[in-house]
Amino acid sequence: MEVGVPVVLPNRVTCKSLLGIVAALCLAGCALQPSSSFSARIPQTHPPASLADDVTRCRDVLGKHHAPEHGSLDSTAIRLVNWNVQKGSTPQWWADLEPMLQANHLALLQEAAFSERLADAGGERMFFSFAPGFATRRATTGVVTFSRIAPLAHCNLSVREPWLGTPKATGITEFGLSGSDTTLVVVNIHAVNFAFGLAAFQAQLTSVSDAVQGHRGPMIISGDFNTWRRGRTLALTRWAESLGLSAVEYRRDHRVRIFGQHLDQIYVRALTVVASSTEAETSSDHNPMYVTLQL
């Protein structure tokens, strides 16, 4: 398999075979710098999403498909949860994840370790889109977007930590919306962490804005932004505002803080926040964020 070419999964591709693809890449020594994205419904994807693994190709595939073939999200009530799962390092996280997948239309995970069990977690009700980041011979971690309907497109963008040289993943998915000709673009991001200054952090954000620049409709950008100092928070706020995005606010805010700054954010554009909340969990070093949106 050529590394760097997105994997388009045929019908009836199982979790086991998908896991085998990742394992084969790892054994070949290629997954140390993964750039292939996966989008599938287990056991079947029809029709397949358009896949892209760089900014230019992502810009080209967004907005190119019509929603009826893939279904549509209910634009009157879109329920989303975002959670950095800390690589699933505690046994309790599976018990916490299951109700999240049952109750929400979109579930965005960061630091998710790819496995057959994770790909199967949503069962028949959820599609599974994985954008790989860091990989070793034992595990591949990245960002996962579970969705109730098939994505129209799925992009994987990857940048490197300046100090460590390890990849950080961003997944971009596009969905149809009921009662509308427009589509919803959802960005799931795990931001660069260990870097002096803001150059690497801002470069990652710029790659996202370049990829979605042709999309004028509703948008959600969510994830672990590693905004552990004020300069990062201000840079993120200015960038989000340049895209017409507003941060979701929480009446009772349990999001994790470092040096007084929140690491996790959900930003929205052309959508109304109906409800939002956070919960304190012990199964990860981050707490999940919830939001209900409508067009």
Q: The domain that contains 92 carries what CATH number?
A: 3.60.10.10
Residue 68 confidence (pLDDT)? 65
Residue 40 confidence (pLDDT)? 54
Residue 129 placed within a domain = yes
Q: What is the pTM of this model?
A: 0.85
Residue 126 confidence (pLDDT)? 94
Residue 6 placed within a domain = no
Measure CA 269 to chain center.
Answer: 17
Residue 62 placed within a domain = yes
Residue 10 confidence (pLDDT)? 30
Residue 1 placed within a domain = no
Q: How many CB atoms lie within 10 A of CB 210?
A: 14
Residue 69 confidence (pLDDT)? 67
Residue 58 placed within a domain = yes
What's the CA gap between 238 and 231, in Å, rounded? 11
Strands (E), 35-126: 38-41, 50-52, 72-73, 78-84, 106-113
Residue 7 placed within a domain = no
Residue 5 placed within a domain = no
pLDDT tens-place values along the chain, 295 residues long: 222 333 333 323 334 444 444 443 333 333 333 345 555 554 333 446 788 889 999 999 999 876 666 689 999 999 999 999 888 777 788 889 999 999 999 999 999 999 999 999 998 889 999 999 988 888 899 999 999 999 999 999 998 888 777 889 999 999 999 999 999 999 999 999 878 789 999 999 999 999 999 999 999 999 999 999 999 999 999 999 999 999 999 999 999 999 999 999 999 999 999 999 999 988 887 999 999 999 9
Residue 232 placed within a domain = yes
Domain range for 272: 15-294
Terminal-to-terminal C-alpha distance of the chain: 41
Number of domains in the chain: 1
Residue 189 confidence (pLDDT)? 98
- Which H/E stretch holds residue 60? helix 55-61
Give the three-state DSSP class for 117.
Answer: helix
Burial status of residue 27 (CB atoms within 10 A of its CB: 0-12, 13-18, 19 or more): exposed
